[in-house]
Amino acid sequence: MVFSTYAYGKKTWLLVFARMVTIAWSLFTAVSFAESPRYMPVMPDYDLVFPKDYGSHQGFRIEWWYVTGWLETPDEKPLGFQVTFFRYATDHDSENPSRFAPKHLIIAHLALSDPAVGKLLHEEKTARESFDLAYARQGNTDVKLDDWTFVRVADGSYEVEMQGSNIGLKLSLKPTQPILLQGGDGFSRKGPEPEQASYYYSEPHLQVAGTVFRHGKSVTVSGSAWLDHEWSSDILDPNADGWDWVGANLDDGSALMAFQIRLKKGGKLWAYAALRDAAGHVTLFEPEQVEFTPQRTWRSPHTDAVYPVEMRIRTGETEWLLTPLFDDQELDSRQSTAAVYWEGAVTLSRDGQPAGRGYLELTGYFRPLDM
């Protein structure tokens, strides 16, 4: 609905404003105070089925499609990028037949890491799922938030189009390797309790081509990316502070994913890693085989949070060193997910030798993550 300042007087505008406040409050109370529905649990005996599991899983509380990657401009300048679409189930009655009922929120983050700028450039959007304006479709990847879209097309590639006020991108992401099921079969443990888990698969080594827009100017780019799709109803232990995560495309065609869940009192609650070599053989690492050791920290001038932006990771007998493209890659998403986190492009060395490039995510350093 669009209102014209010429068509309404002061009194009418006051009535319109009052009506908007009433609607906003009714939506807030519907989301916040309705009786919580029962969400579907994550079970270890479920077999992921495709293409169905590329799509949305409405019975679970939280879900995200998450893409990170390294791009290169024609003049061989590096750029990092992050695209994330979230679907979050509210506490509104899921049986309400109204198409206006705020049953799900769709949230999206867009970020560019440009060393020439020296800080993260990012945009965010949030809307309740409704009509054809914001949705996460079932059956295949098809997520939309206004004019921001992330779609899996017939040949298995992904098309991403997101244009913000100062940055944007239009990319095609083409798979070059099979899906990597995390946990061995897609059941990914996140803690000692059986319900602390998610369904989780990755698509490493996506071949990227397209256009990046910055301040009204466009540049063609190419590169590689990593996609994660994850859904769950109960991920974090109440004693957890946050997590450290890395996904990396290695130069020899291998793919590495590793994470740790940190305790609020310090130390490691849970950890996991998976390394798939170029021939397709997957090695899974148990919590005791995975260690994250900070090597250098950076204090954000924006939030005063301190992040271990340079990290050493041990997986079995292998040592990985992660070095940031630059330090200021903090993403303040308090306008959408209420979280502040560090999401940065990093290079990796393996036992002292250059190995590849990826992304490091650090959450819970501004305040404990609440999921």
In whole angstroms, how far apart are CA 230 and each of 133, 162, 256?
A: 23, 21, 17
Query: Tokens in use for 77?
Result: 């300048």
pLDDT of 93 higher than 80 = no
Per residue in 300-332, pLDDT (tens digit) is 999 999 999 999 999 999 999 999 999 999 999
In order, the DSSP letters of 295-324 are EEEEE-TTT--EEEEEEEEEETTEEEEEEE
Q: What is the mean pLDDT of residues 186-195?
A: 91
Residue 20 has pLDDT above 80, yes or no: no
Task: Give the mean pLDDT of 271-293.
Answer: 97
The predicted pLDDT at position 8 comes to: 35
pLDDT at res. 238: 86
**What is residue 131's predicted lDDT score, i.e. its pLDDT?**
75
Q: How far is CA 51 from CA 93, 113, 132, 161, 206, in A?
A: 28, 32, 22, 22, 17
Neighbours of 88 (CB within 10 A): 19
Report, as an integer, the average pLDDT of 200-218.
95
170 forms bridges with which residues in the sheet?
Answer: 161, 211
Q: Which residues contact 64 (CB under 8 A, 6 or more apart)?
A: 84, 85, 86, 87, 228, 229, 230, 231
**Mean pLDDT confidence for 262-275:** 95
Length of the chain: 371
Tens of pLDDT, residue by residue over 114-152, are 999 999 999 999 998 877 899 999 999 999 999 999 999
Q: Of 173, 183, 236, which is closest to residue 204 (Cα–Cα)?
A: 173
Residue 34 scores a pLDDT above 80: no
Structure confidence at residue 94 (pLDDT): 53
Percent of the chain beyond pLDDT 70?
86
Per-residue pLDDT tens digits for 226-256: 999 999 998 788 888 999 999 999 999 999 9
pLDDT above 70: residue 333: yes
Say if residues 92 and 103 touch (Cβ distance below 8 Å): yes
Q: Report percent pLDDT > 90 for the chain.
A: 76
Backbone angles phi, psi at 136, to 5 degrees: -130, 105
